[in-house]
Amino acid sequence: MSKDPDALVEHRADRCRCCGGLHGDLPAEVVSLSERIELPGVAPVVTQHQRLAIQCPTCGTRVVAPVPEAARSTPFGSRLHAMATYLKTFQALSYDRLQAALSDLFGLRFSQGGLMNLLRRAQARFRSGRDEAASTLRQATVGASH
């Protein structure tokens, strides 16, 4: 919830209902507070990396720029991985519904195979914690589940 001073708008009466007066910056008291709550607009940020080729003027060789580091792995950023993992894991969306949600929310179109690859990459981040938790459970003398 924003406590930004720019997010506070005071509304003062400009005329007295009785005599029509009210002059200057008179002391006031808060009699009610209303809020308008909105989510910020969300749009994907797409950075395109173009590799360019140049003809060497001296020898005529075609020289191609190397693949930049940013383009050597998945095109999907960590926030997109997190959102897709959250929707798939905690909201239990099917791949069809996950495709639709990412399209509706962000205008992104994914194949089911692309989503599976994205989620597989995200799973790797949890592997060490998963392995540690499984090891701890295997050593427990008593186990319970709700």
The verdict on residue 124 lying in a domain is: yes
The verdict on residue 104 lying in a domain is: yes
Min mean pLDDT across 1-5, 6-10, 76-80, 93-97 is at 1-5
User: What confidence tier does 125 reach under pLDDT thresholds 50, 70, 90?
Assistant: confident
The verdict on residue 98 lying in a domain is: yes
Per-residue tokens: 115: 């989503």
Q: Can you give the pLDDT at residue 3?
A: 58
Helical H runs in the chain? 78-89, 95-106, 112-139
> Domain containing 89: what range?
79-128
List, for residues 45-55, the tens digit of each pLDDT value.
999 999 999 99
pTM: 0.62
SS3 content of the chain, % helix, strand, coil (to 5): 40, 5, 55
List, for residues 84-122, the tens digit of each pLDDT value.
999 999 999 999 999 999 999 999 999 999 999 999 988
Q: Can you give the pLDDT at residue 76?
A: 87
The verdict on residue 103 lying in a domain is: yes
The verdict on residue 5 lying in a domain is: no
Mean pLDDT rounded to a whole number for the chain: 89
Q: Can you give the pLDDT at residue 37?
A: 85
The verdict on residue 110 lying in a domain is: yes
Q: Which whole number is the average pLDDT over 18-25? A: 84
Closest by CA to 105, choosing from 87, 117, 123, 91, is 87
- Domains contained in the chain, number: 1
d(CA 84, CA 9): 37
